[in-house]
Structure 1
Amino acid sequence: MTKLRLYKIHVLFFLFLFANFYLNIPLKFTGKVMWGAISLILIMILSIFNLDFKKNEALFLFLILFYLILYVFIPNINYSYSNLVSSFQFLLAFFCFIQLKKVFKKNCDIINYILPIFVFILFSLSVFETLGVTKTLSDSFRNIVYSHGGLYNSDYRDIALTGRVRPKVFASEPSMHVLFICICILCIKARKITDNKLYQGIYLAILLILFFITNSPTIILTLLLFFLIQKADAKLKLNPKVLFINFILMTVVLFSISQTEAFQKRINRFGQVHEVTSDNVRIIFPIITMIDVVKTHPVFGLGISNKDKVIEVSSIYKDLDYEHTHANLVLGTNAITKAIVFTGFAGFSFFCILFYKVFLDGKNINLHNFLLISTLIIFVLGAFEQVYFWILASLIYSSCMSNTSNTIGNSEIKTEQV
C-alpha cells in the first residue's frame, strides 16, 4: 500500500471519528446507539501502540481514588447503577483526553486537513437544511439515533427567536452544531492552517451567515476571539492604521448584528429568571442551583449524578412553572457549576489543579495559548463527565501547543511502497 493511499485511509478514519464526536450521543450502556463507546474503541485503536502512562498514571489513579472516596464518605449519596456508570463515564472520557492529546499531536497534518473539510461540510449542510433540502433526512436521522434521549424538539422556540427553524444538521440540537463549527474555526485559526486572507475572509463570512441563520451568541464570542487570536499571532506588534481599520470593521459588524430583530429578542429574554430560555439554562439556573448547593453541601457537593438531591435543594426548581421541569433543567449545561454541585469545592479545587497541570504546564505559555484556553472556559456548554467535553478540550489543547505554521499545501506526501 502506498503512503498516499494510507494517508487517505487515515483521513477517512479521522473524518468518521470527528463525525462521531460531533453527534454527541451520550455514553449510555442502555442506549440503542452507543456512539460514545464507539469513540472509545476508535481512540484505543489509534493509541494501542502508543500507550504511555509514565506521566499520567498517577493522575489517572488519583482520579479513581477521588471518586471512590466520594462514594464512600459523602452522606446521602444514592448508590444507584446510573451513578456508577456516570462516574466511570467520566474516567473513560478523561482517558479519551489523555490519549487524544497524543493522537492529535502525532497526526497533526491529518487534523489540519480534517478541520477545514468538516467546517465546509457542516456549513453547506446548514444552508441546505435551512432551505429545506435536507431537513427531512436530518430529522429522520435524529428521531432514530436520539430515540433514547437528548432530542431537541422546540421548533416553536426557534421560530419565536429567529423567525425560522434553526438547522440541527443531524446533531442533537442546533447549539451543538454551531458550537462544533465555532471550535473548529478557532482551532484552524490558532493552528495557522492557512494564512491566506481569502480563506480567512471565507471563515468570517461563514460565521456571519451562521449567526443570521441560527442567532447563536456563541458566534459573537467566536468572532471576538478570532480577531483577538489574529492580534496575538502578530505578537501585539500592530500597525496603528491597521488596528484602527480593524476596530472600525469590527464595530460595524457588531453594530449590524445588534440591530437585528433576532438579537433584540434574545436581549429582551435575558434575565427573565422564571422563563425556560437557553440563556437561563446555560447561565442563570446553574448559578442559582450552585449557590443553593453551596449553602448546604459546600465541601463535597451532592455526589456524582445525585439528581434527586438536586431537585430537593434547588430553589429555582420549586419556582419554575414549566410542564417538563426536571433536574437537568436546573443543572443546565454549564460544566463549571456542575463540578461544584456534584463534587463541592473539594472536587472543584481538584479540577482547577488538573486544568493548571494539563493546560498551563509552564511551556510555551503566551497570549495566543491563553486565548485558546479561555475559549474552552467560555464554551462550557456541556457536562464535564461526558466524552464530548474532553474531545473539545483535547482539540483545543493540541491547537494551543501547535507552535509551528502548518499551512495547507506544505505537507509532502510521498508515494513510496510500505
Structure 2
Amino acid sequence: MYPPKNINAPNIRRRKITPRAINYILISIIVISLYLNLGMTISGFYIPMFGVYIGAGVLLIFKLYQQKKLSFFRDNRLNKDISTALLFSLSWIITIPFSPGGLGYVSEHLKSVALLSLSTISAVIVFYEILQWKHSKLGRYFLIISLFLTTYAVLETMIPFFRDISNDFRSVLYTDRFIYGSNKRDLVISGFIRPNVFTQEPSHLAKMLAISTLLYFVSNKGRGALQAYIALTIIQLLFTGSPTILVGPVLLTIFYFWKTIDTLNVGFSLYLKILALVGVLIGVLFAQQIISLLPSERAALIASGRDASFVIRTLGPATIAWDTISAYPWAGSGIGGRELVQDILIKAYREFPSMRVERFDENIGYAGWGNAFFEIFTYSGFVCGLILIPALIILLKRFRAGVLSSILIFLVIFNMDAGFTSVRPWIYFAFTMIALKLWYSQNSELNA
C-alpha cells in the first residue's frame, strides 16, 4: 500500500517556462547586445553585436520548431521574407568584380556580404516576432526599457556615484575598445558631462531611448499616453544632451502626416507623400545649412564645420560617397571596401578644420564611417547602384508597409546610425516599421 497523502501539505505547482517567455528572453538578449554594442573577433574579422545574430538565430529555430515548419521551402511569410533578405544581400556580389582591391580583396568582400546577410535576416526575424506580441505587452516591455535608461541617465548626470558605476562597468566590458570620454566637448556643446549608462557612447543611449519610447507610445491606447511621451522625451533631451532623441518625434510626425494625407484623394495623397520623401532627402543633403539657422552654440559649430560629431555622421560620409562614385563609378569601393578608399576618406576629412585626420590611420576601416545611408553609395557606385537600389526597395516592402513610407523611414534610421552591413541600423529599422504598423493598426490600413 502507498503511504497516505499529507492532506495538509501545500499544493505547490511548478511554473513551466512557456514558449512566449522564451521568445521574450531571446528578444531581450538581442536588445541588450544591440544597446551595448557587444562584438566578437573571429579569424581577424570583427563581428559587431554578435549576440544579436545568436539571439535571432535561436529565435528562428525556436519559432520554426513551434510551427513545425522546419523546411524553408514551405509557403509562409517568414520564409519568403528571409529569402528576400538573403537574395538582396547576395546581390551585392555584383560589386566584387569591379572592386579597386582586385582579387586580393575578394575574401573581405565576401565577409561583408555574409555580415549583411546575417543583419538583414536578423531584422526580418525580429520584425516577424515582435509584430505578433500583444500591444499592451509590447508597450510595457519598451516602457520598462525607456524608464530604466531615462532614470539612470538622470542619476548619472546628477550623482557622481552612479556615473562611477557606469564607467567602471564600461572599462571592464570595453577593454581595448573605444570608450567615449570627451568631457570637454560635452561641456562645450551641452554644458554638462553627458551620460553613457553602461554603453560605449551617449549616442547609443539616445538611439535606444528614442526608439523604445516611440514604441511605448504607439502601442499605448490609454489616456495620457501622449503627455507621458512628451514628458519622457523632454526629460531625455535635457539629461542626455543628444539631438538623436529628436529622431522619435520626427518619426512620430511622419506617422501623423502619413495618416492624415491618407484620408485625402488618392492622387493628391500620393503627390504629398512623394513631396515629403523629396523634402526629407533634401533635409539630409542640406542638413548643415538647415541646422545653421538654429540659435545655439552647437548649431554655430556645425555651420562652420567644426563639430566633429556632425562631420563624421553626415558631412564626411557624404563627401566620401561622392568622391568614391566619381573615382569608381562602376561599383564604388565594392561591398565592405572601406580600406580600399582610405585615401579618399583622408582627403575628405582634411576639408574640415575640426578633424584630426591622423587618427583615422590608427583604426583603418572603422574610424570616419558614421553614416549607414551614404555608405550604400560608397559601396555600390553609380552603375551597380542602378541595380542594387531597386533590390533594396524590394526588401523594404517585406516589412509590411508601402514603398514610400518604407523608403522615408529607411532614410531617417540609416542617417541616424553607422554601418550599412552591421545589424544595428537594420534592427532599429525593423523596430520603427513595427511602430508604424502599430500606429496604423489603431487607425486604418497603410497604403503607400
Do the two structures share a fold, i.e. TM-score over 0.5? yes
| 1:302 aligned counterpart, secondary structure | coil
**Partner of residue 224 from structure 2, selected from 189, 193, 198:** 198
Judged with a 3 Å threshold, the aligned counterparts in structure 2 of structure 1 residues 12 and 311 are, in CA distance, closer, same or farther, namely closer
CA distance in 2, matches of 1:312, 1:293: 10
Do 2:127 and 2:399's aligned partners in 1 also have CA atoms closer than 8 Å? no
TM-score (norm 1): 0.77
Q: Which amino acid aligns with 1:173?
A: E
Corresponding residue to 1:74 among 99, 105, 109: 99
Partner of 1:409: none
Partner SS state of residue 360, structure 2: coil
In the TM superposition, what are the counterparts of 1:50-199 in structure 2 within 5 Å?
A: 50=64, 52=72, 54-56=79-81, 59-60=84-85, 62-63=87-88, 65-77=90-102, 78-79=104-105, 83-109=109-135, 110-131=137-158, 132-189=160-217, 192-199=218-225
Out of 370-379 and 114-123, give the one that drifted further. 370-379
TM-score by length of structure 2 reads 0.73
Deviations 1:355-393 (A, max 9, x none): 4223346966499878755643553x2211111111112
Change (3 A) 1:334 1:348: farther
Given the superposition, is the C-alpha separation of residues 294 and 68 from structure 1 closer, same or farther in structure 2, using an over 3 Å criterion? closer
Pick closer, same or farther for the CA change 1:355–1:76 going to 2, 3 Å: closer
Alignment check: 8 A CA contact 2:194 2:239 kept: yes
* Alpha-carbon shift at residue 400 of structure 1 (Å): 2.7
Bigger RCO of structures 1 and 2 (CA < 8 A, at least 6 apart): 1
Report how far residue 11 of structure 1 moved.
3.8
The SS at the match of 1:28 is strand
**Higher radius of gyration, 1 or 2:** 2
Q: Secondary structure at the match of 1:270?
A: helix
| Gap change, CA 1:158 and 1:32, over 3 Å in 2 | farther
CA apart distance, 1:155: 1.8
Unaligned runs of 5+ in 1: 239-261, 407-418
Compared CA separation, residues 374 and 187, structure 1 to 2 (3 A): farther
1:213-258: CA deviation from partner (whole Å, max 9, x where unpaired): 23322233433443453465567889xxxxxxxxxxxxxxxxxxxx
Deviation, structure 1 residue 118: 0.8
Cα distance, 1:266 vs structure 2:
0.8
Match of 1:288 in 2: 319
Aligned to 1:259: none
Give the conservation status (yes or no) of the 8 Å contact 1:24–1:171. Answer: yes
Deviation at 1:123, TM superposition (A): 0.6
Match of 2:430, as an amino acid? Answer: S
Mapped contact 2:98–2:331 kept (Cα < 8 A): no
- Displacement, 1:65? 4.2
Instruction: Supply the RMSD in Å over aligned alpha carbons.
Output: 3.6
Q: Structure 1 residues 316, 209: CA separation in 2 closer, same or farther (over 3 Å shift)?
A: same
The count of residues paired between Structure 1 and Structure 2 equals: 379
Aligned identity (percent) is 20
Label 1:363 to 1:139 Cα distance change in 2 as closer, same or farther (>3 A). Answer: closer
Q: Does 1:392 align with 2:428?
A: yes
**2:196 aligns to what SS in structure 1?**
coil
Q: Please say if 1:357 is aligned against 2:394.
A: yes
Q: Is residue 100–residue 391 contact of structure 1 (8 Å, CA) maintained in 2?
A: yes
Which stretch shows the higher mean deviation, 171-180 or 54-63?
54-63
Unaligned runs of 5+ in 2: 1-13, 65-69, 74-78, 265-293, 444-448
